[in-house]
Amino acid sequence: MEALDMNQYPIPAKRLQQSKSYKQRVKRWIEKNWQMTTMIILPFAYIFIFCYIPMYGAQIAFKDYKASLGIWGSPWVGFKHFTAFFKSYLFWRVIRNTLVISLYSLVAGTPIPIILAIALNCTRNEKFRKTVQLVTYAPHFISTVVLVGILMQILSPKYGLVNTIITTFGGTPIDFMSTGKLFPHLYVWSGIWQNMGFSAIIYISALSGIDPSL
């Protein structure tokens, strides 16, 4: 079969001119609106860097990962790790704990930001309202690592504030962080404390559009 010679079918000059004209218009628009272009590029770059690039590491789940060999050099093991997890005696315990904590977080965490938003919306003292907003919003911007460090300092069985108060009144120190029954409560309520102020912003915005006379 005779090879197709593209030179025999040249692109029409009009189409080439339109293509060049379009590229020039796009280039001029970008140069003219470089601020808007930058604002558009930044979120896409953020998503690409922090959402798509990390997917590269997902293959570790299917490999016998060795740091000395790297991700690509480590041997493939297929579904070995998944099979081991499903056969583990801890499988159903992990599933149960995940469902219980998720339901606990949903039930306990949903009404609190709503109540906080209603309370702030009904407060007429502007200074007091702004102070409460600042105090409740601030924890949202604290890193989770820092938050855990704060909890460990406050709840430490040796020198933590809570156990100091308990021992002052003749009680026995409690190791909150190592007690299995207490951990779900610490996990859920520390998350609520960290995010309730920020979550209340949405409800405050909704309430501000409601006529107070209703």
Q: All domains of the chain, ordered by start, with CATH?
A: 10-87 (no CATH), 91-214 (1.10.3720.10)
Q: pLDDT, tens digit, for every residue of 77-129?
A: 989 999 999 999 999 999 999 999 999 999 999 999 999 988 888 888 888 88
Global pTM exceeds 0.85: no
Q: pLDDT, tens digit, for every residue of 127-139?
A: 888 888 888 888 8
Tell me the DSSP string of the chain: -PPP-GGGSPPPHHHHHHHHHHHHHHHHHHHHTHHHHHHHHHHHHHHIIIIIGGGGGGGGGGB---TTTHHHHSPB-TTHHHHHHHHSTTHHHHHHHHHHHHHHHHHHHTHHHHHHHHHHHH---HHHHHHHHHHHHGGGGS-HHHHHHHHHHHH-TTT-HHHHHHHHTT-----GGG-TTTHHHHHHHHHHHHHHHHHHHHHHHHHHTS-TT-
